[in-house]
A and B are shown apart, each in its own frame.
Chain A
Amino acid sequence: MYSGVIRFYSLVDVRRYLKELLERYQKDYDKSSNVIGSLLRTEGGKGMEVIMSKGWAKVGSMFVNVSDPDKGGMEVTFQLVSEMKPRISKTEEVLKTFESVEQLPIQADATFLLYLHGGIPERLVIDSTEAKPETFNLKGAYTMGP
């Protein structure tokens, strides 16, 4: 999942980004967990062995599955779902408490660097040295030619 730094030109933009990020995570989670859930229901009573593949072999520094692609695919989807849960709850928590960031005394022309680690918003740098670009507007008359 994404790690990096994103610059924003207002706190409103940061909040909007966090909200969209959370929505995206929840959508991905719902989609993947529905796949897992429907398989477990279909194979009723068999438990987790339904999605645990025995076809893994270590090749180089990776695990490779050539003999059992259906279960292998399901197993990595399950792993993905497990990793999504903490990402969702951390992002939810950041968004819930974001008001406390908004209440900080921040210069009107400040910009914001958001640091994401493994998809989780971990740090915010309030930067008053990098000015927001001037708002772009253009009005004019032009001619056209062949």
Chain B
Amino acid sequence: MLETSVLIENVDGARLSDKATENATSNYSLNVSLSERDRGSESLVLSFTLELTSQPQTARLRVSGSATLKGSKDEIKEGITAPDDSRPPPVLVAIYERIYGTLYVLSGALKIPHPMPNLLKKQS
């Protein structure tokens, strides 16, 4: 069974406008970068950066770190493969789930809209 562990290495948040409020409608776009850092026979370490920018641009959140996948070669392959072109790969869903608590607390502290908890689809 695939095990995924996530380590946050950097967190950055900015309130870009006085117009940002906690109660405003949450409308973030998420830019994702995942890159292979290290690979073993039964493990894969990825560096990740997730950057959320609100629309209109009143707030920005950025979290980076590493995700380690442990499992068989096939399990790892499945973990990094998106089920289809529009959906995120399972590893990205796992990363977002693990960092969501941090995003929630940070957005609350900055008094900007809380991001939504689920990753939905890839923007074309």
Contacts and interface: CB of A to CB of B under 8 A. Distances in A.
A25 interface: no
Interface stretch (A66-74, A89-97, A118-126, A129-137): A129-137
Interface residues of B, number: 30
Contacts of B115: 144
A7 B35 CA distance: 21
B16 interface: no
A6 B92 CA distance: 27
A90 B77 CA distance: 35
Contact of A143 (B30, B40, B46, B80): B30
B44 A136 contact: yes
The DSSP consensus for interface residues of chain B is strand
A143 B32 contact: no
A141 B77 contact: no
Interface of B: 26, 28-36, 39-41, 44, 46, 73, 77, 80, 88-89, 92, 115-123
30 contacts: A6-B40, A6-B41, A7-B41, A133-B73, A136-B34, A136-B35, A136-B44, A136-B80, A137-B34, A137-B36, A138-B35, A138-B80, A138-B92, A139-B31, A139-B33, A139-B34, A140-B88, A141-B31, A141-B32, A142-B32, A142-B122, A143-B29, A143-B123, A144-B26, A144-B30, A144-B115, A144-B117, A145-B116, A145-B118, A146-B116
Interface of A: 6-9, 13, 133, 135-146
